Amino acid sequence: MKKGIFAKAWEQAMERQKPYKEEKLKQIKLVQSEFKGEVNKRATGVLSGIGLYYLQRIKNFFKSFFKNKVNKK
C-alpha cells in the first residue's frame, strides 16, 4: 500500500522529533528518580486535582469554623 504525501511528511517529522523526545524522556526519568517519594505522593490527573482542591476547601472551612467557635466562647 502506497503512502500519501501527508503520511510521508508525518513520518519524516516524527523521525526528526525522535531524538528530542528521547532526551525529554531521559530528563523526566532522571527527575522522577531524584524525587521518587514526592512524585509518588503527588496527585496526578485532572480528577484527583479537583478532589484535592475540594478537600483543601473543606479542611480550611472546618479549621476556620471551629476557630471562630473557640474564639467566641
Burial class (CB in 10 A: 0-12, 13-18, 19+), 44: exposed
Domain count, the chain: 2
Residue-level pLDDT, tens digit, the chain, 73 residues: 688 899 999 999 989 888 888 888 888 888 777 766 554 455 555 556 677 777 788 888 887 877 766 555 5
Same domain, 2 and 30: yes
- pLDDT value of residue 67: 72
* Signed CA dihedral, 61, 66, 71, 72: sign only: positive
Same domain, 33 and 48: no
Same domain, 35 and 49: no
| Domain hosting residue 9, numbered range | 1-42
Under 8 Å between Cβ of 8 and 16: no
> In angstroms, what is the C-alpha Rg of the chain?
24
Under 8 Å between Cβ of 43 and 51: yes
Same domain, 59 and 69: yes
pTM greater than the 0.85 cutoff: no
Give the three-class secondary structure for 2.
Answer: coil
